[in-house]
Amino acid sequence: MTSINTNSGAMVALQMLGGTVEQRETVQEDVATGKEVNTAKDNAALWAISQVMDVDVAGLSAVSGSLSLGEATASVAAVGAERMTEVLQDMKQLTVLASSGSVDYSKVEAQMAHKTEQLNSIISSTQFNGVNLLKTDIDGTGTSSLTVAASLDRQGSGTPNLETISVDSVDFEGSASFDINNRTAITDQASAQTALGEIEGFLRFAIEGAAALGASATQIADQNDFVGRMADSMKMGISAMTDTNMEQASAKLAALNVQQQLGSLSLTIANASPNSLLTLT
């Protein structure tokens, strides 16, 4: 039955067209933003999780910056300590030469004094960003170790805890094991032998210090690499939850465009149906 008051065909066609248009707008927004879950109304649970994870990723980025700074600081200190071992090896050779006798002790001592000044210069200048891990006070605040942010530890929905790495200074400035400024002056063969024993101890201290600083730099570098990989994995997880599958969305958008055109055609046909009554008059 055809009614001029209620066009049921047009009503059905209009409902179908409205649903198609709404779906098309949703898919089109997904394609435009690249996000299937862009706001809380899209999917409240996934949106909330993604927001928390976004905060964690930002925190890991800050941790990575701290690790990079800490690695550079420890690496610079390690280079300084390595250079000190080279200078001390030169001093050891001088003391061995003086211990053998038949040398000008005053000239040997002059060279030793020059090397001592060189060591003190290395100690005072080996700093990065105002932090010198070869000194007693590494940054002018009385601190004897460098604290580096290493990771964020979160359990459940609780507040994340900041884990740190501590790098102790190698105190060339005030350690009794490296009293280079009070070394025995070389004036004869006996004093040269005494100085040789002292330099040997200083050299051992420098080698161990350089090794410790190098190990700390490597530890920090490894942790930085791990943090970077973890941040990348978290970004991929967030993407899997919230990003639009562009292939599927594009195909769906094309299908909805066709459905919208067919819906418009169906509505036109349904609206034209009552006109058939005119042929009966």
pLDDT value at 273 more than 80: no
Is residue 122 located within the same domain as residue 214?
A: yes
d(CA 53, CA 154): 11
**Residue 8 located in a structural domain:** no
Asked whether 206 and 50 are in contact (CB, 8 A), the reply is no
pLDDT score of 238? 84
**Residue 1 located in a structural domain:** no
Is residue 21 located within the same domain as residue 101?
A: no
Our count of domains for the chain comes to: 2
d(CA 33, CA 242): 11
Could you tell me which of 40, 181, 187 has the C-alpha nearest to residue 107?
Answer: 187
Paired strand residues for 146: 167
d(CA 198, CA 95): 10
Read off φ and ψ for residue 148, nearest 5 degrees: -120, 130
d(CA 191, CA 197): 10
**Residue 280 located in a structural domain:** no
For the stretch 235-268, pLDDT in tens is: 888 888 877 766 676 676 666 566 656 555 555 6
The CATH number given to whatever domain includes residue 152 is 1.20.1330.10
d(CA 16, CA 125): 77
pLDDT score of 258? 62
Question: Which residues, 6+ apart, have CB-to-CB distance to 220 below 8 Å?
Answer: 67, 70, 71, 74, 148, 150, 165, 167
**Residue 107 located in a structural domain:** yes
Is residue 252 located within the same domain as residue 264?
A: yes
**Residue 133 located in a structural domain:** yes
Is residue 143 located within the same domain as residue 180?
A: yes
pLDDT score of 91? 96
Query: Which structural domain range is residue 101 located in?
Result: 43-242
157-163 CB contacts, 8 Å cutoff, 24+ apart: 157/52, 160/56, 160/59, 162/63
Is residue 204 located within the same domain as residue 223?
A: yes
Task: Give the sign of the dihedral formed by CA 152, CA 155, CA 159, CA 164.
Answer: negative
SS3 for 101?
Answer: coil
Average pLDDT value for the chain: 83
SS3 for 137?
Answer: coil
pLDDT value at 27 more than 90: no
Q: What is the pTM of this model?
A: 0.77
**Residue 4 located in a structural domain:** no
User: What is the pLDDT averaged over residues 216-243?
Assistant: 90
